[in-house]
Structure 1
Amino acid sequence: MAIVTTIRREVLTLPAAELGPDNPLPPLRPLDELHRVDDRDDLPPDMARQIGYEPLRSLLPVHLRDGYERVRAPRGVDALVIENDRLRATVLPGLGGRIASLLHKPSERELLYRNPVFQPAAFALNGAWFSGGIEWNIGATGHTTLACAPLHAARVTAPDGGEMLRLWEWERLRDLPFQVDLWLPDGSDFLYVGVRIRNPHEKPVPTYWWSNIAVPERRRVLAPAQEAWYFGYERRLRTVPVPSYEEIRQLPHAADYFYDLPDARRRWIAALDEDGHGLVQTSTDVLRGRKLFVWGSGPGGRRWQEWLTEPGTEDYCEIQAGLARTQLEHARLDPESEVSWLEAYGPLNSPAQAGKAEERLEAVLPRADVDAAYAAWKPHADTAPGEILATGSGWGALEVLCADLKLPGTPFDDSTLGEAQEPWLELLRAGALPEPRTVRPPGETLVAPHWRDMLETAPAGPHGEYHLGVAQWHAGDRAQAVRSWERALELAPSVWPLLRCLAVFDQEVGNRERAADRYAEAFDDLCRERRDAGEAWTAAMAALGREAIEALLAVGRTRDARSVWARLRPATRARGRFRFIEAGLLVAEGRREEARAVFEEGFEVADLREGAEAVGRLWERVSDEPLPDRYDFRMR
């Protein structure tokens, strides 16, 4: 008897690090994104145009997620399992809707790389990210800010009358609602995934999507292409022949290969083991791009692999599928329009040649069947969800209220509004942003034009002026932002958030001495104002202290930097990031041997950024010896 497709709740217990609190300081600095191209003259015109089309310049309104560490303990992670008699997909709605596992039941084969731990690392645009499974990347070049965030989830009727799992959320970088529908037809070896991104606004919006699939590293990756666009983290794109398995295994450093699929060819990519078994992903033609990412065989790539999981775990690579030919591009989504497609994931058994693999794919899942499945799903994209299985953020509900949006299929209910949205709901309804009733670190700022307009017409108050300045900064109007923050200083009971914003401005215009003065004054004010040792205040102390020390050291004020260090909480100073800062402080004080001792004692900078080379540069200042493997994270 066939097992009818079911969806059920489950709790996974695995070694997991806590996410910790978000960084409360608004991310005002330009985005330091590795995936940029410095020279576009030799690229095809459409590719060059899309690479230059509104690249992300700021994380606002999203905050950084850097409060995690590397201490793991058994923890329960909520999961939703969708299953038929052939496949079992395990989805993590609280962690970006990631598909953590895709098990082919007849062969008992795991089709994905399944990370046995949950360990955040600084790979997402806003920090916290983890490896493994299938990730839905929306927003802008890089890993989504929703990688470790909850999505809404519900049961929906599938095109075949069975059950479908719907995931949806409001993507805040581009202000776009999206949905991911997953279903398993009875008896099917393939998981179908319908994706829709909507632009409800009256202006075009840059759009980005890449489905990121982690597979075991020792796989032959096949795609219907003879050439690829190669990106080696040196900010340059060039065409190369599609590399062989042996050539990929010999790469010393991390690399991206974006396969140049001919327009008429079927869209697919597969990763097969030495016996020809593995995973294939295919889609309707809208999802144009295909990619292979490898870490490389060098010590930096190996170290990153260890960093993201635990010793003895199988290494992985990534195969991906996206809207554009490369991840460095953003596509235009016209006003009041949408883009949608269908993906399919399942097992493939084939000789390891692209032509043979495509023949085998056509035999087990014809291209026409994928197109037919998309046509069958599309009318169901608007179906109202049934039982709610998980709840995401309240930001979508706030935007729906603000613009009176109608988004059938993806309801952003008023019940999801929470504490973070309360002051903005007051601004929307009463025309004024309320002053906080208690002294606490400032909340999130909304920076879209319609919110900025409301702040500009609201009665002036220190809290509103602070948020208005952040919104003006995001819009590129720095002079007005500075004026708003300076006006707020005159009346604000809490000045450290404003001084910090002004210090960032000073740094951006090259006035490092004044920036150091303002950082020192801001940290003094925060120390006076801190009400308790709770999570919010501790996160604010750590974030501002870190920036203040760096600013003070930049102008040679080591005594003042040491004063900031001494006032941080002992638990903060013990964190790996702050042990690294301490080593830099010791070097600045001329205490080279003590700085080296910090390295020898060992530390782990939990939020070390992808491609970061700061640890290696500091090591060169304390030792003439080669960089120890444990500190080698070089990607080029």
Structure 2
Amino acid sequence: MTTIRHEVLTLPAAAPGPDNPLPPLRPLDEAHRIDDRDRAALPRDMARQVDYEPLRSLLPVRVRDGYDRSRTPREVDALVIENDRLKATVLPGLGGRIASLHHKPTGRELLYVNPVFQPANFALNGAWYSGGIEWNIGATGHTTLSCSPLHAARVPAPDGGEMLRLWEWERLRDLPFQVDLWLPDGSDFLHVGVRIRNPHERPVPTYWWSNIAVPEERRVLAPADEAWHFGYERRLRRVPVPRHAGADRTYPLNSTYAADYFYELPEGRRRWIAALDEHGHGLVQTSTDALRGRKLFVWGTGPGGRRWQEWLTEPGTGGYCEIQAGLVRTQLEHVRLEAESEVSWLEAYGPLEASPEGEWHTVLREAEARLETALPRAAVDAAHDAWKPYADTEPVGILAAGSGWGALEVLRTGWKLPGTPFGEDTVGDAQAPWLHLLRAGSFPDARRAEPYDETLVAPPWRDMLETAPATPVTEYHLGIAQWHAGDRAQAVRSWERGLRSAPAGWPLLRCLAVADQEDGHHERAADRYAEAFDDLCERRGDDERWTELSAALGREAVQALLAAGRPADARSVWERLTPGTRARGRFRLLEIGLLLAEGRGEQARAVFDDGFEVADLREGEEAIGRLWARLGPEPLPARLDFRMRPDGS
């Protein structure tokens, strides 16, 4: 009989820390953009989907950059779903990730299990961690829910047992989704039913990739003769499979640099991907045809890829690669989900034994035959059909709580979303000001709701803000919604109106400073940043909230003042940051830039020599290498080498 139970894991873990309190007004820093030279060669449907409403902003989601790299033993809540063949360990408080998939008859772990929890800057909004199976929804990249709690509950399964349901409200596209996990009696395969719903009266772009970490000492098999290769030089090219540029790229350790290989699966071919070790043992993932794409991500054997692998776990831990499955060919595309419609599919994860060595098509035929014996394609389709009537079944036992954003949207619209309840009891402090706006037509008084509360930007909320009393806090949020909609001039007018009577000017001054930067007015932006930081310093208290505000605003102010050629003013801001803030790795890097601007190269080199770690170093970021190069010709030390492309500097 399948069982679902709570379990507590204890592992070395870094504290997630607070979110960045400043709204992310700047365009998305996205590494996954296509060089214009490659667009003409894309198939027509791919080109259309690449251009279909790519994400331009993180709003209304906040950036998660408050974590560090100091790991101590911490307890992590887990939910275990188990039968006599498999044991799946799920982390509902960390994006619903499957942290482990253990095959009991053989005693083998089918996934790469990270022995630590170490956030790093890989998600769209920052904090992400490696290992297991993650569910990526929203837009190109790792989901903003990577380190966020999901709702979880018990639900009846199609075979009469129990399912574990995970669900949440995805805020970038304003879409509810669910992931149902169950183990049919005696099955070697974990079944996963996924549904994304569009309750809106308009089409919405959507995105999904299931991301599976497996040990990199594998051969990755997928039924394809071609793949789309994408690297950090942002070129998308069709390449042959398995051999490309003199090496068999289906072995992850045969690549030097980090890269994606999006496999071109022929129409009508079964959708599957597997990773097998030298003995022919490993994991296979298969699905119904709606989940069209399959992908291999490799870190590469170069120094940058090796350094990132160490960064995400503990030195000496084996490396990993990722095999993935998505709605379209590549992760650079988004698909149109029609108004008041849904898309669903079924995935299955389990063990596979087949020889990985030999001629490519012979290897594929054997592996596919073994998969068909273990789990026929028709059985996957039948399981999906059997599951669909249960997708609307209401939970019978709540196991974990997610956010209150879905409840807020349901209260606003009255939508009925069977199977995924977003109860009013989940509304919390973050949603409370917006619930007040919804019910009373106004924001709470600014003395009770600080203007740096979380914001909403969807058109219905923008409309409510436009008709609400024009208080400074309302103008602040209205300006952010207008900015997100592309009406920058109106956003600036709203912020300027709010500033006239704001009891605290720094939130609005910071927004105006960003607008100036985006318009190329760097001197005026620097003035506004300096004024905003002065204003904040006059008001700040001693608690953690004010420390984080000072850190976030101070970091932006120093950068803006340096960009305007004003190192003396930047130094003035720097010296008013707390000692703890200045000791953080990101601020040590900022200090190096400040020292170089002051012409103090020896002191800048001394900061490097002291040693520091930038906890929120961004995927593909090359700031460390650029600053190091300004000090002289000495090669970049291995501990600082995070370069992920051939010409990274």
Question: Are residues 1:106 and 2:110 paired?
Answer: no
Whether 1:624 aligns to 2:628 is no
Q: Which residue of the partner structure matches residue 311 of structure 2?
A: 307
Matches within 5 A, 1:397-412: 397-412=407-422
Q: Secondary structure at the match of 1:490?
A: helix
Aligned to 2:360: none
Q: CA offset at residue 623 of structure 1?
A: 2.8
Conservation of the 8 A alpha-carbon contact between 1:21 and 1:535: no
The answer as to whether partners of 2:450 and 2:473 remain within 8 angstroms in 1 is no
Alignment: residue pair count: 632
| Letter in structure 1 aligned against 2:12 | P
CA distance in 2, matches of 1:545, 1:62: 21
Distance 2:525 2:99 in 1: 45
**Deviation, structure 1 residue 435:** 2.3
1:524 aligns to what?
534
Equivalence for 1:514: 524
1:489-514 alpha-carbon deviations (Å, 9 max, x no partner) = 11100110100000000100110000
- Tell me how far 1:535 sits from its aligned partner: 2.1
After TM superposition, the structure 1 = structure 2 runs for residues 80-119 of structure 1, keeping only pairs within 5 Å, are: 80-119=79-118
The answer as to whether partners of 1:440 and 1:537 remain within 8 angstroms in 2 is: no
Which of 2, 6, 26 aligns to 2:3? It is 6
Amino-acid identity (%): 78
**Residue of structure 1 in register with 2:359 after alignment:** none
Deviation at 1:250, TM superposition (A): 3.0
Q: Distance in 2 between matches of 1:364 and 1:535?
A: 54
1:268 alignment partner, one of 268, 272, 276: 272
Query: Displacement of 1:355 after TM fit?
Result: 1.4
Say if 1:206 and 1:332, in contact at 8 Å, map to a contact too: yes
Partner of 1:227: 226
**1:146 is aligned with what amino acid?**
L
Kindly indicate whether the alpha-carbon contact (under 8 Å) linking 1:441 and 1:536 is maintained by their aligned counterparts in 2.
Answer: no
1-side partners of 2:451 and 2:551: how far apart?
12
Supply the distance in 1 between the matched residues of 2:254 and 2:84 (Cα, whole angstroms). 40
Q: Is residue 374 of structure 1 aligned with residue 388 of structure 2?
A: no
Measured in 2, the distance between the counterparts of 1:559 and 1:386 equals: 62
CA-CA distance at 1:243 after TM superposition: 2.9
1:544 pairs with 2:553: yes
Kindly provide the amino acid, as one letter, of the partner of residue 31 in structure 1: L
> Which shifted more, 150-159 or 434-443?
434-443
What letter corresponds to residue 319 of structure 2 in structure 1? D
Report the CA distance between 1:438 and its aligned residue. Answer: 4.3
Q: Deviation string for 1:554-583 (max 9, x for gaps)?
A: 112111111111111111111111111111
Using structure 1 for the length normalisation, give the TM-score. 0.98
- Match in the other structure for 2:621: 612
Give the CA deviation at 1:437.
Answer: 2.6
Q: 2:451 and 2:366 mapped to 1: Cα distance?
A: 59
Cα-Cα RMSD: 0.9
Give the Cα–Cα distance (whole angstroms) in 2 for the partners of residues 468 and 606 of structure 1: 33
- Contact conserved, 1:111 with 1:279, CA < 8 A, in 2? yes
The yes-or-no answer on 1:277 pairing with 2:281 is yes
* Residues 194-229 of structure 1, C-alpha deviations (whole Å, 9 max, x = no match): 000000000000010000000000110000000001
Answering whether residue 566 of structure 2 is matched by residue 562 of structure 1, we say: no
The partner residue of 1:595 within 598, 604, 607 is 604
Residue of structure 2 aligned with 1:584, choices 574, 584, 593? 593
Q: CA deviation at 1:235?
A: 2.0
1:344 alignment partner, one of 339, 344, 348: 348
Return the alpha-carbon distance in structure 2 between the equivalents of residues 543 and 458 of structure 1. 29
Q: Give distance in 2, aligned partners of 1:214 and 1:407.
A: 32
| SS of residue matched to 2:555 | helix
SS at match of 1:419: coil
Q: Which amino acid aligns with 2:181?
A: L
Tell whether the 8 Å contact from 1:439 to 1:494 is kept in structure 2 after alignment: no
**What is the DSSP-based 3-state SS (H/G/I as helix, E as strand, rest coil) of the residue aligned with 1:192?**
strand
Deviations 1:537-570 (A, max 9, x none): 1111111000000000111211111111111111
What's 1:52 paired with? 51
Whichever residue aligns with residue 29 of structure 2, its letter is: D
Q: C-alpha separation between the residues in 1 aligned to 2:314 and 2:451? A: 35
CA deviation after TM superposition for structure 1 residue 531, in Å: 2.2
Q: Which amino acid aligns with 1:316?
A: Y
Q: Give the counterpart of 2:322 among 318, 323, 330.
A: 318
CA distance in 1, matches of 2:512, 2:526: 11
Q: Which residue of 2 aligns with 1:178?
A: 177
Q: CA deviation at 1:141?
A: 0.2
Q: 1:249 aligns with which of 229, 250, 253?
A: 253
Q: Are the equivalent residues in 1 in contact too, given 2:60–2:455 (CA < 8 A)?
A: yes
Tell me if structure 1 keeps the 8 A contact 2:451–2:473. Answer: no
Q: Which aligned pairs between 1:82-481 and structure 2 lie closer than 5 A?
A: 82-244=81-243, 246-247=248-249, 248-352=252-356, 353-438=363-448, 440=450, 442-481=452-491
User: 2: CA distance between counterparts of 1:63 and 1:285?
Assistant: 34
Bigger mean CA offset, 227-236 vs 443-452: 227-236
Give distance in 1, aligned partners of 2:509 and 2:13. Answer: 37
Structure 2 contact 77–91 (Cα < 8 Å) conserved = yes
Letter in 1 for 2:63: L
What is the alpha-carbon distance in structure 2 between the residues aligned to residue 77 and residue 585 of structure 1? 40
CA distance in 2, matches of 1:246, 1:627: 30
Match of 1:498 in 2: 508
* Distance (whole Å) between structure 2 residues aligned to residue 117 and residue 47 of structure 1: 38
Find the residue that maps to 1:447 and give its secondary structure: coil
Query: Secondary structure of the equivalent of 2:630?
Result: helix
Amino acid at match of 1:396: G
Structure 1: which 5+ runs fail to align? none
Q: Which stretch shifts more, 34-43 or 187-196? A: 34-43
Amino acid at match of 1:53: Y
Question: 1:246 deviation in Å?
Answer: 4.1
Give deviations 1:147-199, integer Å, cap 9, x for gaps. 00000000000001101000000000000000000000111100000000000
Distance 2:16 2:240 in 1: 41
Aligned residue for 2:40, secondary structure, equals coil
1:19 to 12, 16, 21: 16
Looking at structure 1, the residues matched to 87 and 174 of structure 2 have their Cα atoms a distance apart, in angstroms, of 33
Partner of 1:420, secondary structure, is: coil
Task: State how far apart, in whole Å, the 2-side matches of 1:29 and 1:179 are.
Answer: 30
SS in 2 for 1:57: coil
What code does the residue aligned with 1:109 have? R
Amino acid at match of 2:18: P
Distance 1:350 1:618 in 2: 49
Q: Secondary structure at the match of 1:249?
A: helix
What secondary structure does 2:461 align onto? helix
Contact (CA 8 Å) 2:275, 2:284: kept in 1 or not?
yes
Counterparts of 2:117 and 2:611 in 1: how far apart (Å)? 22
TM-score with structure 2 setting the length: 0.97
Q: Which amino acid aligns with 2:532?
A: A
Native 8 Å contact 2:155 2:394 kept in 1: yes
Q: Which amino acid letter does the alignment assign opposite residue 511 of structure 1?
A: H
Distance across 1 between alignment mates of 2:449 and 2:104: 55
Q: Retained in 2: the 8 A contact 1:24–1:441?
A: no
Q: Deviations over 1:373-419 (max 9, x none)?
A: 10110000000001100000000000001011000000000000001
**Residues 388 and 486 (structure 1), Cα distance of their counterparts in 2 relative to 1, 3 Å cut:** same
Question: Displacement of 1:35 after TM fit?
Answer: 0.6
- Determine the C-alpha separation between the residues in 2 that align with 1:205 and 1:483: 29
Provide the rounded CA distance (Å) in 1 between the counterparts of 2:254 and 2:369.
29
- d(CA) in 2 for partners of 1:456 and 1:439? 18
Q: CA deviation at 1:436?
A: 2.7
Q: Report the alpha carbon displacement of residue 231 of structure 1 after superposing the two structures with TM.
A: 0.5
